[in-house]
Amino acid sequence: MTGTRRTAAPRPAAARAPGSLIELLIHRAALHPGHVALRNGAHSLDLGTWLRRSAALAAGLLGRGLRPGDPVALRYGSAEWTEYAVAFCGVQWAGGIAVPLSDRSAPAAAAHVLADCGAVGVLHSPDGTPPPLPDGVWAEAGDRIEAQAPAGPPPAPPAPSAPAQYLYTSGTTGLPKGVGATHANLAHGCTLDERRRPLRHSRTFLHSFPIGTNAGQTMLVNCLNAAATGVAAPQFTPLRFLRLVEEHRAGSVFLVPATAVELLSSPALARCDLSSVRLVGSTAAALPNPVALRLSQVFTGAQIVNYYTSTEAAPAQVTLLYDPGHPDSPGLPASLDQLRITGPDGGPLPAGESGEIWLRSPTDPRTYLGATGADLEVFRGPWVRMGDLGMLDGDGYLHLLDRERDVVKSGAYKVSTLQVENALHAHPDVVDAAAFGIPHPVLGSVVAAVVVPRRGEPDAARLRAFLLDRLAVHELPARLLFRDTLPRNEGGKVLKRELHRLLDDEATTP
């Protein structure tokens, strides 16, 4: 040995991870400019066009004075995914911060987002209209700014550590909170190696997630990174969605629990060819275990997967592989590297003990805009508190017990609303259900439930008898209310504060 210190050979460019989604777009468009990355109704977007239009939009934004770190809101609808994709990358390429904003947002919610993030402008589709604007905030159609772009080379890709996106939470318990992410955060898990592209088993993947949600953003990143073409349904109905599965021979289908319930209740399901589907993924909320079981029985050639993450935690994610042999669990974690369950002292708990669930970000963690001391309850270094209670059993399967805020404290007992909902979903005449706590003068709280029946109004006494075999006495709903639908937000999450209002309305109805 000579004592000479060896240096590692540089990694080939293809083996590197991109530092930003813009770097990934430049790389992929150079190799496969004609590859269609995204379809949305009659519109499609190939990588070459995506690159050219995003570069022109970036130049146009810089020409009108956009500065590094300026937030720009993107107000687009579910039939405008291709325009939104160009706007998202164009703003980031110009050094701005993209702020997704669905066109379904109420005026008050849109006004809150614009004021909270300090947006300097709003981009919208050629046919779109901006929300009411604060003083000094401009609004313009993205294609008009593209047309005004000065000639010259595009700007350099942004630095990985620069802010890239402000995404707002669903606001189910209050005003939506802005969550900031860097370019490195958004691009984590992406690759420049064409041999390692995800979803290679699929020619296309299909979803109906709205713009402005974490699930929708994940699908946009898939369009840039995956081997398959993304198909975004302009509007969800079970029949239209199932027709898109057949038309595009979708190999991967992504749902939220609400759309899964609607699909399983549709008569069209029996008439559709689902043989192309190899993966059915559910995200955004807990998928009731009976619903997951029925999905596995309908999509017989597919693996059912629960993706467990949040707007705050992404890209940290636990992939739960559903196993019909363990129907009481959402699935077996593909990896436990980013998951821990902790006790009151913050220490990890052994299998079989329930506690708080935390996920660890594998890259720059996200942060709340205007973070305060209270945010330490959510972000602790790379770890993010999920707000859920759960446990790992002796076989390694994860059990979600409840949202911490939704646990019903009834007398000496703590009742899981998820467990009550699972029992309700197991009834053949129940299409959908949500459980929650209501005040009780003696016990403090008891369980109530709003149920969507399959046909007519079921016999409440028989439903209670059915639940007696599945729930303890203290878990049985003290109040049952039957309705045609459950109140949900745009992302498919049940608005439990609206459920309380339903009971209040029933009590005051003469």
CATH number, domain with residue 75? 3.40.50.980
State the total domains in the chain: 2
| DSSP, residue by residue, 182-238 | EHHHHHTT--S-GGG-S-TT-SEEEE-PPTTSHHHHHHHHHHHH-SSEEEE-SS--H
* Strand locations in 313-429 (E): 318-321, 332-333, 339-342, 355-360, 367-368, 379-380, 383-392, 398-403, 408-410, 413-415
pLDDT at 1: 33
A 10 A CB-CB count for 69 gives: 12
Q: Per the domain annotation, does 279 fall within a domain?
A: no
Query: Which of 134, 154, 187 delimits the end of a domain?
Result: 187
End-to-end CA distance of the chain: 94
Residues across the chain: 510
Q: Per the domain annotation, does 271 fall within a domain?
A: no
pLDDT at 377: 85
pLDDT at 2: 33
Query: Which of 139, 155, 187 delimits the end of a domain?
Result: 187
Q: What is the CA radius of gyration of the chain?
A: 24
> One-letter amino acid identity for 285?
A
pLDDT at 174: 65
Q: Per the domain annotation, does 44 fall within a domain?
A: yes
For residue 473, give both structure tokens: 């006495």
Which residue range forms the structural domain that includes residue 73?
Answer: 16-187
Q: Per the domain annotation, does 397 fall within a domain?
A: no
The whole-angstrom separation of Cα 155 and Cα 93 is: 7
Contact 241, 233 (CB under 8 A): yes
Q: Give Dmax (Cα) for the chain.
A: 95
The whole-angstrom separation of Cα 71 and Cα 68 is: 9
In angstroms, the Cα distances linking 272 to 206, 246, 319 are 15, 7, 28
Query: Which of 154, 187, 220 delimits the end of a domain?
Result: 187
Find how far residue 487's CA is from the centre of its chain: 18
The whole-angstrom separation of Cα 114 and Cα 116 is: 6
315 prior amide bond cis, ω within 30: yes
Residue from 89, 106, 110 nearest 98 by CA: 89
Reduce the DSSP state of residue 321 to 3 states and report it.
strand
Q: Per the domain annotation, does 170 fall within a domain?
A: yes
- Domain harbouring 424, CATH code: 3.30.300.30
Long-range contacts of 430-433 (CB under 8 A, 24+ apart): 430/454, 430/458, 430/463, 431/261, 431/265, 432/258, 432/261, 432/485, 432/486, 433/486
For residue 7, give both structure tokens: 């240096």
Model-wide pTM > 0.85: yes
For residue 15, give both structure tokens: 């083996």
pLDDT at 81: 97
Q: Per the domain annotation, does 280 fall within a domain?
A: no
A 10 A CB-CB count for 306 gives: 23
Q: Which pLDDT tens digits describe the chain residue by residue (510 residues)?
A: 333 333 344 444 445 789 999 999 999 999 999 999 999 999 999 999 999 999 999 999 999 999 999 999 999 999 999 999 999 999 999 999 999 998 888 888 899 999 999 999 999 999 888 888 999 999 999 999 999 998 888 899 999 999 999 999 876 666 789 999 999 999 999 999 999 999 998 999 999 999 989 999 999 999 999 999 999 999 999 999 999 999 999 999 999 999 999 999 999 998 999 999 999 999 988 899 999 999 999 999 999 999 999 999 999 999 999 999 998 899 999 988 889 999 998 899 999 999 999 999 999 899 999 877 767 789 988 999 999 999 999 999 999 999 888 999 998 888 999 999 999 999 999 999 999 999 998 989 999 999 999 877 778 888 999 999 999 999 999 999 999 999 988 878 888 888 888 877 664 444
pLDDT at 15: 58
The whole-angstrom separation of Cα 106 and Cα 104 is: 6
The whole-angstrom separation of Cα 338 and Cα 336 is: 6
Which single residue is written with the structure tokens 């210190």?
Answer: 5
For residue 474, give both structure tokens: 């203290």
